[in-house]
Amino acid sequence: MNICEERGSGIDKVISHIEVFQLPAPDFRVAGDSTVAVLFGPRKFSQMDREERVRACYQHACLLHVSGKRMSNATLRKRMGIKDSNYPMASRIIRDAIDAKLIRSYSEGDSSYVPFWA
């Protein structure tokens, strides 16, 4: 039926489109032998909780990394729809994602970030 491509690019495509439309990050859950992807409808940044913001930050860093780029405060602000003047909000999300050990600095003293596994 050609419903599934079986190349492993589905999650990248989903996250990419979610970023384009600035939707909340999907939540991937393991349920027995299956994986469940929970997609969320439009929600303003102010309506997202800390966990959702950190998940979006991590997924943003992953997507950029597999695209050969690195996440920065500016790229996260754009992804989350945060005004440039509110850069401390993005800094807080980045700090929370680092504390959760989901992302790390690309190199010491660098202001760009990659997933923990990179």
Q: What is the pLDDT of residues 30-51, one digit of tens each?
A: 989 888 889 999 988 899 999 9
pLDDT tens-place string over residues 4-29: 655 666 788 888 888 888 889 999 89
Task: Please state the pTM of the whole predicted model.
Answer: 0.84
The pLDDT value recorded for residue 11 is 82
The pLDDT value recorded for residue 2 is 56
The pLDDT value recorded for residue 5 is 55
Q: What is the dihedral of CA 88, 93, 94, 97, to 10 degrees?
A: 160
Q: Which residues pair with 45 in a beta bridge?
A: none
Question: In whole angstroms, what separates CA 17 from the centre of its chain?
Answer: 12
The pLDDT value recorded for residue 36 is 85
pLDDT tens-place string over residues 56-115: 999 999 999 999 999 999 999 999 999 999 999 999 999 999 999 999 999 988 899 999
- 118 close to 103: Cβ distance less than 8 angstroms: no
CA distance 47 to 24: 10
Phi, psi of 75 (to 5 degrees): -70, -35
The pLDDT value recorded for residue 58 is 96
The pLDDT value recorded for residue 7 is 64
